[in-house]
Each structure stands twice: as C-alpha cells, then as structure tokens.
A and B are shown apart, each in its own frame.
Chain A
C-alpha cells in the first residue's frame, strides 16, 4: 500500500501521533461521561485509583492485561500479513476447550508444571484449528476473512453453549460449567511478584500465564522481524503482488499466519480458565478478543507497543469495575465505548492529525522535512 503522507521522525510516528490519537479518544469518552451527568475528571481519578491504588488493584490490572496481550498479539500477527482477524473472540473461546479437556484429563495424575505445557499445546492447537477454516477459505476460495471469522465467532459461541450445558457438564450439577479442576489443573499465582515491590495482595487472579504472555510477545517480535517466515509474512502484507513475484506461496503464508494468530488467541484462555476460575464456564472471554483489535492498533502491531497498550486496557477494565461501584450510571459498557473510540482514532483516523503535525515539524526544521514534503501527495 502506498502512503500518501510524508515521513516523520520515528519518535513522532510511533510516539507522538498515537499519543495525540489516544488523548482525543479519551476526550470524546469524557464527553459521553458528561452527557450521562457525571464529572469526567472525577471518573478518571476513580479509574486510576481503582487500577493502581493498591497491590491488589495492580494485580487485577495485570490479570486483565494478560488476556489482552495474547489477543493483541494474535490480531497483530494477522495484520502483518494484511489479514484482519476479527475472530480472536471465538478462537479464544474455543481455545478454552483445549485447556479444559487437558485439565480434566490430567489434573489428577500430573502436577501443574506438567499439565501447563500440555494445556498450552491444547489451547494453541484448538485455537489454530478454529482459525484454519477461515484461513483456508480465504486462501483457496477467496471468501472474505473478516466475514468468515465473524461468523466463526457466533458458531463458537453456540458450540460452547451446547458443550457446557450438555456433554461437559457433570451429571449432578445444574450450572453450565465443568467440574472444578484439581491442584494439577491450576496455575500458581504471581502475587509474590507484586509483593516483591512492596504492594500487598491478599488474593487476586494474577497468575503465571502473565509471564507466558510476555514470552509470547518476545517470540512474536522474533518471528516477525528476525526470521525468514516473518519476512515472508510482512512481504505478503505489504504487497501480495511482490510476494507472488518473489515466489512466496500465497495459500501457505495466509494459512500459516492465521494459524499462528489463532494459536495466540487460543492461549488467552489459559489465563481465565486455568489461572483464575479453575473450571471451564460460559462467556469467560468477555470481549477480550475484541479488545485485542484495539490493543494491536494502538501498539502499531509491534509487541513493544502491544504490551503497554494491553496494560492500558487492563487498567480500564479494572478501573472501570471500580468506577461502576462509585458511579452507578456508568457501567462496564463505558469500556466498550472507550475501546471503540480508541479503534476509531488510533486505527481508522490515524492520519487525521498527521498533516497538522507535519506542518508543525516543517515549520520548526524545514530542512529535515523539505525533501519528504515535496513528495507528499504522490500516490
């Protein structure tokens, strides 16, 4: 894709412009708070306090962030290949099935540190499998991946409801969930990590999968920028024509990318299912798949951007929960609005403030912008 805009210094491109977009998104969200009849500044204060006020709050914030790192990476990997994977929600939901089945089978025989790798494999395999069909249909039959992955979200939801009210439910129970996992199917908590820095955490769902998420972020960076496969993925994303000319198999690269993306989304299920709830239950994803889109856009599809973006959204989730207590007019749905605004301003309208920033830079140092600016506007 050709960019009709002149180049800015890297720090402005990756720091300043996303920051401006983010500030505008929050300003508009503040207007909504004002419309509801509350004070946006007070709301922001409560959110910050709720997200970072104590060791326990920080632990919750990081617990939510863990899920968003996984889904954000999933969306980003697909973005690099020019694919838009909206199916993170469904892939994560189905990924829970992989985690659940592994835990239900092995939790009584194996210790957690042996179940964990198996559960990772299970989640990744099921998530990748769920992404495989849309990928295959895109690559072979040309059906639009955005539409098929949306459809697969709905199909995944129906399938999981069917399994959890039927085959996976223990016979003597009414609730639509599996039995509780034993010790061998539960991840150790990471509360000591926060206590190390002086916070006090009595109980929180913050668990080992956070470290796995960070590891995945590093591996994704390695994959995209330091391997041959990553180079092929980026080539396909930049110019499918050039990729074909270079002999990169389109079908192969689309399917592999989507399966990696699906595997990352599927691994998100480890965090709530194995790390917190200790059983498989309905709707444990709670929109994390969609937050991943916002995190990937804000982080500019780079792991170093996605991790902070995911922490920001973890903050909003945790702070938003506290906010709902303090201001009953503002429910958790406020997060959905903020998420939408971030996607709008950091994604679709990312170029809105670029011309203004460019002319600002040009007026400060005309020489550095001179060459680039004269080329601006060319297709």
Chain B
C-alpha cells in the first residue's frame, strides 16, 4: 500500500511536470507538420512566461496574463514565419536567434521594470491559475484505491492541465478530421501539390505558426502562473528542446506526443524523488546523472533504437514557387 501511495504521488507530479512539455510539443506539431521546423519553442515559452508573469503582477488577473502571453508568443511565431516563410531564411537559424532574443529581453526588461534582478514579483493566489478540486473529490478521498487515485491524481490540478489534455484530442481532430488539417499536413509533405490546387502555401504555413504561438503561450503561462508564482531568469531550462525531442519520439502524432511528454515528465519526477536515496544494487547515484538522464534518453531515442522517425518531407525547406 505504501508503494502504491508513493507511485500515485510520483504520477501526480509527472502530470504537473509534463504539462509545459505537452503544450510546447503540440505547438511544435502544428508548425512542423506544415513544413516549418521550429527550434524556437524554448524562446516562445520563455517570452510567454515573462509576459504572463509581468501582466499578472501588474493587473492581478490570470486571464489577462494568459492573453498577453499568447499575444507575445504569437508575435515571436510570426517573426519566425516572416523569416522562414516570406524570406525563405534558414528555419533553424531563425529559431536559434529568437531563443537568444527571448532569453536576453526577458531579463533586461524584467530588471528595468521590476528591479528584482530579472525576476518578477512573487504572485499571490488570486493572480495565478490555482488547483481546482473536482466534484466529490473530498468525499471520495477515503474510498480505498479508486477514491485516492481520483483525489490525488485526477483532481487538484489547475485548469490549464485539463486544457492541455483536451488540446491533445482537439489537435488530433483538427489535423485528421478537418479540411484545414488535411491541407496543413499536405503542405508539410508536398507544398507544390497544395499550390497547384490553388491554396496559398504561405498563408497556410502562417496559420500553422500562429497555432504554434498560441500553444506556446499556454506553455509559458503554465510555467509562470501554475507551476511557479512568477518569472525567474531562464525558467524554461531546456524544456522547449525536450518538447522537440518528444515530438520526434512521437513521430509527429498528437496522441503518442502526449505519451512521450508523460514519459519525460515521469523521468523528471522520478529524478526528483530519487535524489540522494541509494538505489538497490547500484548504490548512490550522483544527482547530476539524473539531471542529464532526460537528455541521454532523448539521444538514445533519437538514435532510432526504438523505431525510426521520419519527419514531414518538406520540413525545413522554404517553398519557392516555380515560374
């Protein structure tokens, strides 16, 4: 029973830790399925986290903060689109550039506006997305197994957590059950065919990167307003890259993307749980090993030892209309 309780608690923190990954991963899915590689998920998340924390600190409204985060993130996405769709620039270079701009600007503006060494003021409960208790959770708490799982694992998350899981389904539906989704996938595989059908490749790709921006805005807001209470310098700490890895691991499909993000979240939760405790047979494992573990696993996964990941065929290639 003790083991079971520990497991549920670890799974609970798995859910919390995988939400920013999930938002960012779904964000990348739209852009990459449309043939625009986006390595700038990290920067968009960071900018969104800062925007939401700053607006929440000034206005005290979590919803306004979310709106601001989405706006900033979409702006970054549009700059990426402007460089890589309109001007046919290198998509990876553009993403790297935006990551640096976000990393620098958030700290400089944070310092100038709030004078706290680049962080934003700590937010009170009213300016954050707080945990919501699902109906009957308190009452069901004492029911063995089922009640405990309901109370501990399913209930008690912020609304953004439920939005994230809903977005997995929504993304699947948009991509595979709507006309827009069909065209979006087509433009990532064979843009010339889409162009021949009389549909604008550029406009379709712009719409895809706007979707990316919106979801990255959610990812950043979750980091700043649900997981933490404010913005801290470099708070994304490589999550954008992990999300990208999860996307590749999931072979650019929404439901596997969810499982990949949950796996990486689980590793993270396990690392926090196991820090400092000696493992059976291996003994004490240095903390740095656990910090590096998600990255090492990503490399092993990317090496294709677990199935081969084939990216959208037109990914990374700017579209030049033949004349």
A331-B111, A337-B101 given as contacts; is B93 within 8 A of A352 (CB)?
no
Using an 8 Å CB-CB cutoff, how does the interface string of B72-98 with A read, 1 for contact, 0 for none? Answer: 000000010011100111111110111
Question: Once bound together, how far apart are the Cα atoms of A143 and B101, in whole Å?
Answer: 27
B145 touches A (CB below 8 Å): no
Q: Tell me which residues across on chain A come within 8 A of B82, comparing CB atoms.
A: 349
A155 touches B (CB below 8 Å): yes
Q: Tell me which residues across on chain A come within 8 A of B322, comparing CB atoms.
A: 379
Residue of A2, A37, A143 with most partner-chain B CB within 10 A: A143
CB of B320 within 8 A of CB of A335, answer no
Q: Tell me which residues across on chain B come within 8 A of A144, comparing CB atoms.
A: 248, 302, 311
A141 touches B (CB below 8 Å): yes
A162 touches B (CB below 8 Å): yes
CB of A336 within 8 A of CB of B103, answer yes
From 144 to 182 in chain A, residues with beta carbon under 8 angstroms from any chain B beta carbon are 144, 146-148, 150-152, 154-155, 158-159, 161-162, 166
CB of A166 within 8 A of CB of B286, answer yes
CB of A336 within 8 A of CB of B90, answer no
A-B contact count (CB 8 A): 153
Question: Closest residue to B245 on the A side, CB-wise?
Answer: A147
B241 touches A (CB below 8 Å): yes
CB of A86 within 8 A of CB of B108, answer no
Q: Tell me which residues across on chain B come within 8 A of A293, comparing CB atoms.
A: 93, 96
CB of A335 within 8 A of CB of B94, answer no
B288 touches A (CB below 8 Å): yes
CB of B302 within 8 A of CB of A331, answer no
A265 touches B (CB below 8 Å): no
Residue of A84, A344, A347, A351 with most partner-chain B CB within 10 A: A344
A142 touches B (CB below 8 Å): yes
CB of A344 within 8 A of CB of B101, answer yes
Using an 8 Å CB-CB cutoff, how does the interface string of B162-199 with A read, 1 for contact, 0 for none? Answer: 00000000000000000000000000000000000000
Stretch at the interface among B19-27, B50-58, B129-137, B293-301: B293-301
Q: Tell me which residues across on chain B come within 8 A of A339, comparing CB atoms.
A: 100, 104
Q: Tell me which residues across on chain A come within 8 A of B248, comparing CB atoms.
A: 144, 147
Question: Closest residue to B91 on the A side, CB-wise?
Answer: A348
Question: Closest residue to B113 on the A side, CB-wise?
Answer: A36
B5 touches A (CB below 8 Å): no
Using an 8 Å CB-CB cutoff, how does the interface string of B247-259 with A read, 1 for contact, 0 for none? Answer: 0100000000000
CB of B108 within 8 A of CB of A341, answer no
Residue of B92, B93, B118 with most partner-chain A CB within 10 A: B93
Q: Tell me which residues across on chain B come within 8 A of A84, comparing CB atoms.
A: 92-93
B292 touches A (CB below 8 Å): yes
Interface residues on B, range: 35 or more
Give the Cβ gap from B72 to chain A, nearest Cβ, in Å: 14
B277 touches A (CB below 8 Å): no
A154-B292, A158-B292 given as contacts; is B302 within 8 A of A343 (CB)?
no
CB of A334 within 8 A of CB of B308, answer no
Give the Cβ gap from B193 to chain A, nearest Cβ, in Å: 16
A146-B92, A330-B108 given as contacts; is B83 within 8 A of A340 (CB)?
no
A36-B109, A349-B83 given as contacts; is B100 within 8 A of A340 (CB)?
yes
Question: Closest residue to B293 on the A side, CB-wise?
Answer: A158
A147-B244, A148-B302 given as contacts; is B93 within 8 A of A35 (CB)?
no
Q: Tell me which residues across on chain B come within 8 A of A147, comparing CB atoms.
A: 241, 244-245, 248, 298, 302
CB of A344 within 8 A of CB of B83, answer yes
Question: Closest residue to A343 on the B side, CB-wise?
Answer: B97
Give the Cβ gap from A338 to chain B, nearest Cβ, in Å: 8
Q: Tell me which residues across on chain A come within 8 A of B101, comparing CB atoms.
A: 337, 340-341, 344
B99 touches A (CB below 8 Å): yes
Chain B facing A: main interface SS: helix
Q: Tell me which residues across on chain A come within 8 A of B292, comparing CB atoms.
A: 154-155, 158-159
Question: Once bound together, how far apart are the Cα atoms of A203 and B240, in whole Å?
Answer: 42
Question: Once bound together, how far apart are the Cα atoms of A238 and B187, in whole Å?
Answer: 25
Q: Tell me which residues across on chain B come within 8 A of A349, comparing CB atoms.
A: 82-83, 87, 89, 94
CB of B88 within 8 A of CB of A158, answer no
- Per a CB cutoff under 8 Å, which of A150, A152, A162, A341 touches B289? A162
Question: Once bound together, how far apart are the Cα atoms of A377 and B322, in whole Å?
Answer: 8
Tell me the count of chain A residues lying within 8 A, CB to CB, of chain B: 53
Q: Tell me which residues across on chain A come within 8 A of B245, comparing CB atoms.
A: 147, 151
Question: Once bound together, how far apart are the Cα atoms of A86 and B241, in whole Å?
Answer: 12
Question: Closest residue to A158 on the B side, CB-wise?
Answer: B292
Q: Tell me which residues across on chain A come within 8 A of B91, comparing CB atoms.
A: 348
CB of B320 within 8 A of CB of A4, answer yes
Q: Tell me which residues across on chain B come within 8 A of A152, comparing CB atoms.
A: 295, 299
Q: Tell me which residues across on chain A come within 8 A of B295, comparing CB atoms.
A: 151-152, 154-155, 158
Question: Once bound together, how far apart are the Cα atoms of A297 and B292, in whole Å?
Answer: 30
- Per a CB cutoff under 8 Å, which of B39, B109, B296 touches A146? B39
Question: Closest residue to B286 on the A side, CB-wise?
Answer: A162
CB of B304 within 8 A of CB of A351, answer no
- Per a CB cutoff under 8 Å, which of B84, B100, B112 touches A343? B100
CB of A142 within 8 A of CB of B111, answer no
B238 touches A (CB below 8 Å): yes
B6 touches A (CB below 8 Å): no
Give the Cβ gap from B288 to chain A, nearest Cβ, in Å: 4
Question: Once bound together, how far apart are the Cα atoms of A4 and B39, in whole Å?
Answer: 25
A151-B241, A378-B323 given as contacts; is B105 within 8 A of A337 (CB)?
yes
Give the Cβ gap from A355 to chain B, nearest Cβ, in Å: 10
Give the Cβ gap from B232 to chain A, nearest Cβ, in Å: 14
* New A-B contacts (20) at CB < 8 Å, excluding given A32-B105, A151-B296, A297-B93: A32-B108, A36-B109, A142-B304, A148-B299, A151-B302, A152-B299, A155-B299, A166-B286, A329-B112, A333-B103, A333-B104, A337-B104, A339-B100, A340-B102, A347-B90, A347-B93, A347-B97, A348-B90, A349-B82, A379-B322
Q: Which 3 A-B pairs have the closest CB atoms?
A: A340-B100, A336-B104, A348-B94
CB pairs A–B below 8 angstroms (21 shown):
A2-B320, A35-B112, A137-B302, A141-B304, A144-B311, A151-B295, A154-B292, A162-B286, A290-B96, A330-B108, A333-B118, A335-B104, A340-B98, A340-B100, A340-B102, A340-B104, A343-B96, A344-B98, A348-B90, A349-B83, A352-B87
Q: Contact residues of A with B, CB < 8 Å?
A: 2, 4, 32, 35-37, 84, 86, 133, 137, 141-144, 146-148, 150-152, 154-155, 158-159, 161-162, 166, 290, 293, 297, 329-331, 333-341, 343-344, 347-352, 377-379
